[in-house]
Structure 1
């Protein structure tokens, strides 16, 4: 069976669920080979306080079938990192699907790959998409040709299942969903800015942007 090469860019300040959520589901696709990619093979510090480890480097990564750029507080640095942006641009022409979750979409935009494309990202950064040439679209998962983007963090699971359906069909995606017992019944109905109070939305947006700013400042002092 031909292997399906699926790569996740991981980087300092990544939100781990952005990558681990869809990776857990996509790894169930028959023939899937999952790559975690960074500049070197050193331990990566996440924004959740635990670490991830890459299994290949930008230079050694093979041509992928699917590339996913997750989000996190480290995406601002990635948007200005020509080594990373060049890797994405080099992979893009031969990818079956170019994808991103959360603020990873902004990195694709910085690479010039969102121009004229419908895309989404975490709601707190949604207003940044148009400046990167994208057509901002508010949805959990947005597809435009071979581009697929997911909203914030947990949307990566819906994104993963949607991508599986495109890769191997709806029936296979349903089996993966069942095997993972993905039957969400959240205890609160406040996971969207459309459902939460305006006070909570303002508080969370300010908090997230402040945390991102502090992370960027920490990089400059290293």
Structure 2
């Protein structure tokens, strides 16, 4: 399984790390030993909303070769909603088996047309912004509609990661990962 984490300037770091940590444990704890991932972006480095610099592995790769694409939220999502180059890149994920976002990452999925006719969620302050892109905004922590999984506000990232762990490796694996994180 191959995962593309889409990173951009002014992302919320917890949106990324909260999901990344439990998912990475699928490999380190032996549940999915062939799991691989790339940090993807449009430049060699990106900065979170507090200025922490992250190094990107791949610059705008074709996302169609991945099994899961994950996009976090953050203040940087708003300008990207109108950035046609970014949206075109995101559209290369259209046929990916799993498309996952948390917080305002769903706004980017919506702006790229990946949520058309779907139910989805986002940060509670952005429900109205998401509404034009979906069939229904669902005020829940995690919403699954077909191959698209969206999570609510920032702290949901950890729950979303564990949810996807269960989806990919089963309930026992997700439970073991949850226990190893001392997350109840």
If the length of structure 2 is used for normalisation, what is the TM-score? 0.91
Partner of 2:36: 33
Deviations 1:143-173 (A, max 9, x none): 0111000111110111111111111111111
Stretch of structure 1 that moved more, 82-91 or 135-144: 82-91
Deviations 1:55-96 (A, max 9, x none): 111136671110011110100121112222112211221x12
Partner of 1:195: none
Q: How many residues align?
A: 178
Q: Measure, in 1, the Cα distance between the counterparts of 2:142 and 2:130.
A: 15
Partner of 2:97: 96
| Cα 1:13–1:118 shift into 2, 3 Å | same
Aligned 1:45-84 pairs, distance under 5 A = 45-59=47-61, 63-84=65-86
Unaligned runs of at least 5 residues, structure 2: 27-31
The question of whether the paired residues in 1 share the 8 Å contact of 2:63 and 2:90 is answered with no
Which one has a bigger Cα radius of gyration? 1
| Cα 1:132–1:62 shift into 2, 3 Å | closer
Matched, 1:24 2:27: no
The question of whether the paired residues in 2 share the 8 Å contact of 1:109 and 1:134 is answered with no
| Cα 1:107–1:146 shift into 2, 3 Å | same
Secondary structure (helix, strand or coil) at the match of 1:116 reads coil
Secondary structure (helix, strand or coil) at the match of 1:28 reads helix
Partner of 1:175: 176
Unaligned runs of at least 5 residues, structure 1: 184-222
The question of whether the paired residues in 2 share the 8 Å contact of 1:122 and 1:153 is answered with yes
Q: Measure, in 1, the Cα distance between the counterparts of 2:162 and 2:5.
A: 16
Q: Which runs of 4+ in 1 moved over 6 A?
A: none
Secondary structure (helix, strand or coil) at the match of 1:138 reads coil
Q: Measure, in 2, the Cα distance between the counterparts of 1:113 and 1:50.
A: 29
Secondary structure (helix, strand or coil) at the match of 2:161 reads helix
Q: Measure, in 1, the Cα distance between the counterparts of 2:11 and 2:5.
A: 11
